[in-house]
Amino acid sequence: MKILLLASAFNGLTQRVWCTLREQGHEVGVELAPAHSDPGTLIRAVERIDPDLILCPFLKHRVPEDVWRRWTTVIVHPGPVGDRGPSSLDHTLLGQGPRWGVTALSAVEEMDAGPVWACSTFDVPEGITKSALYNSRVADAAMECVATVIRKVTNGERPVPAEELPLPVPGTGELPLLRRSAFALDWRASAAELARRIAAADGAPGAPAVLDDRTYCLFDATATGEHTGAEPGTIVGRDCESIAFATGRGTLWVGYAALLEKKRGPKLPAAMVIDAAGAPFKPAPEAIAETVYRREGDIGYLTIRSYNGAMHTEQCRRLTGAVEKALTEDTRILVLTGTEHAFSNGIHLGVIDAAADPAAEAWDNINAIDELCLAIAGAEQLTVAAFSANAGAGGVMAALCADVTVARDGTVLNPYYDMGIFGSELHTWSVANRVGERIAARLLGEKLPISAAEAQQVGLIGAVGPRDWDEFQRWLRAVAIGYNEPVTRGRMFAAKARRRAESKPLSYYQTIELAEMARDMFDDRHGFDAKRRAFLGKSAPTETPEKLRFR
């Protein structure tokens, strides 16, 4: 089938749909359609393509009538049957709805009002943020809906009017746009309530809070029952860049913040935005800690947590220290993984852009993440890295420094650099070492996402585990135990020795990469400065890249 993906951006969900449909043998192309785009241009593009089906996995505005009347056009809406409006996830998280869903419906004149092709519902985990919910439960439900749409279109079936269907989530209906003021924080409320409001506003618009007569947007929060007796809104502790606040009941830990004046400033680690000087050290709760280490006999498990996958200089240095400390344990295998909702996308563009000298900060950041990669690649133990969620750029390359790399089903990898930089993280060694020079050149040159399944097929990773989070964790533990079986362990250590013997010193690859990166960061030879700012500002694409169009 010839399928056109019409989207406002080539985001994670659109990438996952794109990868899956291509793997199923469909002819797939993308047209990016930002809200301000000329409808006539879009109509002409669709006429030129003449698709069998138009899917809109992430579209923020109406499809032109001349399109949906002539071609079957299906919108993937992040709400169950009956839900309408632009703030679906915000409402359900703010209202503590225990269940939500995704609906695939035909585009019509009214937004989210067309007949229904498919609907999939799911439980909403307590405390989950909006972005985490979107990238996990919503994305999974969306993929189920897309599969149903493809089957029904192939079989010649038609959608059902929404009014003829029962409401899978009672009480759903049209809800208004929620603006930032709807998430305002009152420090006299409980820490649990404040954390829930911050989670519902995650990403955008952010939850506003007043501290010392200045207004900030807060992100990445978790609550504890600890009561300090301090005045609500008082800073009562700090761990790395995370800050603890007293509330009406309990303590609120905040990982990220942005100054809110005439407009929202950059979103950065909290202590880089809010003055927490003099705050006493307190260990952050596990839900917001950068690393969690546990050991089971000969196997150590290190979970790395990075908000939205970005890792700044000091964080990379701390992660390197955590890896090195774990490697001092009397273990034979070290397993490194991320959380259910984030793995890593490499260096922290936000912290770089906010620095007094962005080029110098970028240089420090890339050197710091390289040290993490060297610690993983140079380990005497067998190392296993597991992509627990989507990953990109340096985050992919860091995991490839392990002896064995696996992934959770449904994850999308972007194993390339597309920010005006050559890239480092030992990628000139790790990628070709796994897939050969030809495929490595294609992956790095085409700059296209690949699914976990395709990554396994080309040899970039070794295996793909279950999508369900609990099942994946059990599977990963079984993988580690399997590698610890004496015969298998001996074979893997022999392969590790051969890999080292057949390669040049790792410092050789790092030296070449950093020489290129120095020119990109200090001389800006490929537009790193402008591309970084466009990415952080979420600038709408002016045109669709040719690599995404029908080939």
pTM beyond 0.85, yes or no: yes
| CATH architecture type of domain 291-467+495-534 | Alpha-Beta Complex (3.90)
pLDDT on residue 41: 86
In the predicted structure, residue 35 carries a pLDDT above the cut 80: no
The Cβ-side half-sphere exposure at 316, using a 13 Å CA radius, reads 31
Across 151-160, average pLDDT = 96
- Written as six digits, the tokens of 436 are 């050969």
Burial class of residue 108 (count of CB atoms within 10 Å of its CB; 0-12, 13-18, 19+):
middle
- Which amino acid type is present at position 388? S
Q: Read off the pLDDT band of 36 (50, 70, 90).
A: low
Domain 180-272: CATH superfamily, name plus number: Formyl transferase, C-terminal domain (3.10.25.10)
Confidence of residue 263 (pLDDT cuts 50, 70, 90): confident
Integer Cα distance of 179 and 414 in angstroms:
32
Return the closest-CA partner of residue 410 out of 18, 20, 7, 14. 20
Half-sphere exposure of 481 (CA within 13 A, CB side): 8
> Terminus-to-terminus CA distance in the chain, angstroms?
14
As a whole number of angstroms, the distance between CA 169 and CA 243 comes to 37
Where exactly are the structural domains of the chain?
Answer: 2-164, 180-272, 291-467+495-534
Q: β-pairing, 391-392 with 346-347?
A: unpaired
429: tokens are 């060694």
Domain 2-164: which CATH number of 3.40.50.720, 3.40.50.170, 3.20.20.70, 3.40.630.10 = 3.40.50.170
Mean pLDDT of 74-84: 95
Helices (H), 155-201: 191-200
Residue 34 has pLDDT above 80, yes or no: no
Reported residue count of the chain is: 551
Top-confidence residue, 96 or 267:
267
**340-367 pLDDT, tens per residue?**
999 999 999 999 999 999 999 999 999 9
